[in-house]
Structures are given as structure tokens and as C-alpha cells.
Amino acid sequence: MGLRESRGEGRMNDQDDFVAWTQTRLREAETALHNGDPRPRLAIWSTREPVSVFGAWRSEIGQDAVRELFHDLAEAFSDCTSHVYEIVAAEVVGDMAYTVGHERTQTSVNGNPRAYVLRVTQVYRREAGEWKVAHRHADTAPEPSTEP
């Protein structure tokens, strides 16, 4: 049925607003990180415990470790030419939400141009009326099989 399911095509609701947020503020924060600026990502992350990242390159748990991770990633990234978050599934339940999807990114890592696809699951919570990321799990998407 897709993201809109049976909620009514013309009516905005919590889920529509949330998905729109992922395609604007979340996407802008991820693009900034891949251009070497961690501040927008830090701004959309929860400052309440628990927070965690099970990342494609490194995993951390807790505020201090997660913030340090984001700064380290920003130092490695530059020259992002594309970042797209293709959402496969999303759900909002009260003040909690999640997304599952694929991030397709073209950026430089330590000065070397790279293009890669990550499978990403994120958990969000609403804090003071704003969505904040509380957990991220990402891994490299497997290459499509060329065998029949």
C-alpha cells in the first residue's frame, strides 16, 4: 500500500509531516555532514539518553561518543554531490517513529571520490514538538546479484 496507506490522499497528518521532515531537514543534515559540517546532524539528534549508532564504519553508544563520531565523520567527508534517502517504510506512533530505507551517496571520503548505498534504519522521538534521531543502524547494501 505504500507510505500513505489508507490515510486519505489529500489530508496531511502526522505521518505525512514526518516523512516530509525526513526529505527536508533530515536530508539537508545528512548532505551537510557529507560536506564536512556535523552541526546540522547534531541539531536533529536527541540530547536525551539513550542514543546509539550502529554504523557502517563505526558504532557508538551515548551522547559524548555519538557526538565525537559525527565530528570524526565530518572530518572524513567532503564534496558531496548527491545524497538521497529512499524510504521503504515509515511509521509514526505517538511521539516515536522509525524509517527504513536506502541512502545513496556520492561524496569524497578522505579526499577520494566514492559512491555507495547504505541500508538504514532509524528511530526517532518527538522532543519539544520536534523530531530527533535517537538511533541509527546502517550497513553497506549488498551488490545486486548478476546470477539468474
pLDDT one-digit tens code per residue, 102-128? 999 999 999 999 999 999 999 999 999
pLDDT at 6: 37
According to CATH, the topology of domain 14-140 is Nuclear Transport Factor 2; Chain: A, (3.10.450)
Of 87, 108, 106, residue with least CA distance to 98 = 87
pLDDT at 12: 54
Per-residue pLDDT tens digits of the chain, which is 148 residues long? 344 443 444 435 899 999 999 999 999 999 999 999 999 999 999 999 999 999 999 999 999 999 999 999 999 999 999 999 999 999 999 999 999 999 999 999 999 999 999 999 999 999 999 999 999 999 998 876 555 5
- pTM for the full predicted model: 0.86
